[in-house]
Structure 1
Amino acid sequence: MEHLAHPPSAPGTRRRARDLGIVIGRAATGPLNAITDVPGVRVGHTTVRRLPGVHSGVTAVVPDAVGPRTPLPAGVFTGNGYGKLIGTTQLAELGTLETPVLLTSTLSAFRVADALVGWMLERPGCEQAQSLNPVVGECNDGLLSDIRARPVHEEHVRAALDAASDGPVAEGCVGAGTGTVALGFKAGIGTASRTPDLGGRRFTAGVLAQTNFGGTLRVLGRTVTPESVGLGADGPAPEGETGSCMIVVATDAPLDARQLTRVARRAVFALARSGAAYSHGSGDYAVAFGTRPGTGGPVADAELGPLFEAVLDGVEEAVLNSLLAARTTTGFNGHTARALPADRLLSVLTDGRSGLDEPGSRGVPRL
């Protein structure tokens, strides 16, 4: 069993959307174009592989100092509820987040939640805790990984939490995205950020997505299929219970739980831009939390428009990054998921791209 715990680290040879000149939206990104651009947010991954049949892992989004005595305002939204988002009811009822948000494989979610509770009880301020609400989301990686083996264990969870860093976020086939497939291509973890102006104040919104959903990929309004990029018409796509997308949104804007729930809705809405089918068997969820609830006055609802747009653009870019960073993987029972080829994607986008770079267009390709 290969067990690789890595903090967000230097990216590999695969390029992100902006490296290719694909720019989604007009708002500026943070320095890393990642969820870790939000102050006080760290990310860690543990990748678990046993070739050929196990391709899984866990990803941790860790807000600084979060705990039962220092909860953060949060909201949650379910686009389609065919999934296991542990901790949903208390999160929705109280509007507070008490733990990091962890992502993993479907049948490993319960072990991950138990391991998260154990890790949290050892944190300062939790010495007397008798109640704790772990938040753990999942995607079904059973196409490429032996999901029934439940390969993610406590040591993997602790490694991801302990390795969490505020640096660049590793994307693609890492952590919880090691065995995922989306929109007919190998997928994984993707991230992005934006810095919207809300009523004259500049804030940061960052997103991280674990992508594993069905549909037909759309990039800057153009349909992209395995066949159109030269991979044939038989690319794998999640079906039934194997679909899902988990999105985590973080922001330093001083929002309350109700406003963060509105933000979470936009994160799920954004999947439609990428071509999501929201099928019967897809679990499409977003958790949004704030990191600095006491900073400055509250943001008025009427000022939230730029933040909503930032999240829509950020999720769309994170989904594309998850595909571009992923690598072709052959896994369980010989199933193969092929990576989206960047050069052929650019060919599709530049073939008759008239109007894509006109003022007012949502995407601004700089090809």
Structure 2
Amino acid sequence: MAPVQTPRRVRDLGVVVGTQPTGPLNAITDVPGVRVGQTTISTGDLHTGVTAIVPDGYADGLPAAVAVGNGYGKLVGSTQVDELGVIETPVLLTGTLSVFRVADALLTWLLDRDPRATSLNPVVGETNDGHLSDVRRRPITPEHVHAALDSASADRPAEGCVGAGTGTSALGFKAGIGTASRTAGRGTVGVLVQANFSGTLTVLGTPVPAAPLDADGNSCMIVVATDLPLDARQLGRVARRAVFAMGRVGSDFSPGSGDYAVAFGTHRPPAFADRELRPVFQATTESVEEALLNSLTMATTTVGYQGRTAQAVPHDLVRPR
């Protein structure tokens, strides 16, 4: 059995991704007005939860876009985001078979806050945590969803085996939730990921082979937030770069993978020239790469459903040689 290790972010292990500076928390909550709340279920055969990304001003519609790397998944609300270029609710993440219960509970939470609303488009994504959690039980209740929303704060979100990442694995190891940020010119790009995909872990270009997990689900949800005044078309370009960044940590983009990115802006755009997007793209790919690595190094070995185990990545394999 591997020795117990303290979860640490990759920067604390000496791994510095890219060249752009991070925000103060190196988290999605470095973007002003973005908060995150999480509910975790971790007991016996259940390892799952809810992660809520709550931006200020969502009720008035914020510019947004969705990028689909591989559409083998359930991203509730994505077609309306594509059509209108806005989100009008928080973005929630959970396990595959709970996604519809989470969407319904989110609607209840929103309707309670707006008695005049007659149409809302909840945005809820998922990855399959069925390797470590009994997904058929669909344990998420409205209380779990409302607790995640009500607890949302601007603090750095917890990472690893929490919220929607409680039962996920990636690249042969236990994974979960990860976050990171970069400053980009006059604004900030922040990212939160729910990592649950296959491939060979790669750290700063160096492969770190692992024994393959016999796990169901090979997917990733990426949420990108920025306070730069980008329109929906430009956010679509950002979202696509977010999915591309999965390849930097070794994703094999398997046929059974649901790889999605939701990108939104907290400021409605007056104008932002496409020629100014280069540092934004770099900030996005660097943030996604680091967030994915954090999702692994902050996770802990977990024994779950039917005694199945996902081992934490040994930090000595990640540290620079």
Query: Which bin holds the TM-score, normalised by the shorter protein?
Result: over 0.9
Matched position secondary structure for 1:44: strand
User: How many angstroms apart in 2 are the aligned matches of 1:271 and 1:105?
Assistant: 20
The 3 A distance-change label for structure 1 pair 237 and 61 is farther
User: How many angstroms apart in 2 are the aligned matches of 1:110 and 1:338?
Assistant: 30
User: How many angstroms apart in 1 are the aligned matches of 2:105 and 2:314?
Assistant: 37
- 8 Å Cα contact 1:144/1:179 also seen in 2: yes
Instruction: State the AA in 2 paired with 1:259.
Output: Q
Matched position secondary structure for 2:58: coil
* 1:48 and 2:59 are equivalent in the alignment: no
User: How many angstroms apart in 2 are the aligned matches of 1:108 and 1:134?
Assistant: 14
* 1:103 and 2:54 are equivalent in the alignment: no
* 1:83 and 2:60 are equivalent in the alignment: no
Report Cα offsets for 1:27-47 as digits up to 9, x if no partner: 000000000000000001000
* 1:236 and 2:223 are equivalent in the alignment: no
Q: CA deviation at 1:168?
A: 1.3
Partner of residue 208, structure 1: 192
Counterpart among 104, 113, 116 of residue 128 in structure 1: 116
The 3 A distance-change label for structure 1 pair 264 and 237 is farther
* 1:247 and 2:247 are equivalent in the alignment: no
User: How many angstroms apart in 1 are the aligned matches of 2:184 and 2:61?
Assistant: 25
Q: CA deviation at 1:152?
A: 0.9
Q: CA deviation at 1:340?
A: 0.6
Q: CA deviation at 1:237?
A: 5.2
Instruction: State the AA in 1 paired with 2:171.
Output: L
- 8 Å Cα contact 2:224/2:262 also seen in 1: yes
Instruction: State the AA in 1 paired with 2:161.
Output: C
The 3 A distance-change label for structure 1 pair 238 and 304 is farther
* 1:63 and 2:55 are equivalent in the alignment: yes
Partner of residue 104, structure 2: 114
Q: Where do residues 253-292 of structure 1 align in structure 2 (5 Å cutoff)? A: 253-292=228-267
- 8 Å Cα contact 1:324/1:340 also seen in 2: yes
User: How many angstroms apart in 1 are the aligned matches of 2:250 and 2:13?
Assistant: 20
Q: Where do residues 1-367 of structure 1 align in structure 2 (5 Å cutoff)? A: 13-51=6-44, 53-67=45-59, 70-123=60-113, 126-197=114-185, 202-226=186-210, 233=211, 235-236=212-213, 238-239=215-216, 242-293=217-268, 297-346=270-319, 349-350=320-321
Instruction: State the AA in 1 paired with 2:64.
Output: A
Q: CA deviation at 1:343?
A: 2.3
- 8 Å Cα contact 2:37/2:53 also seen in 1: yes
- Percent sequence identity over matched residues? 64
User: How many angstroms apart in 1 are the aligned matches of 2:72 and 2:38?
Assistant: 25
User: How many angstroms apart in 2 are the aligned matches of 1:48 and 1:343?
Assistant: 29
Matched position secondary structure for 2:23: coil
Structure 1 unmatched runs, 5+? 1-11, 227-232, 351-367
Instruction: State the AA in 2 paired with 1:25.
Output: G
User: How many angstroms apart in 1 are the aligned matches of 2:46 and 2:148?
Assistant: 18
Instruction: State the AA in 2 paired with 1:37.
Output: D
How many residues are treated as equivalent by the alignment? 317
- 8 Å Cα contact 1:185/1:237 also seen in 2: no
The 3 A distance-change label for structure 1 pair 215 and 238 is farther
Instruction: State the AA in 1 paired with 2:87.
Output: L
TM-score by length of 1: 0.85
Matched position secondary structure for 2:271: coil
Larger Rg, first or second structure (1 or 2): 1
User: How many angstroms apart in 1 are the aligned matches of 2:240 and 2:105?
Assistant: 29
- 8 Å Cα contact 2:13/2:318 also seen in 1: no
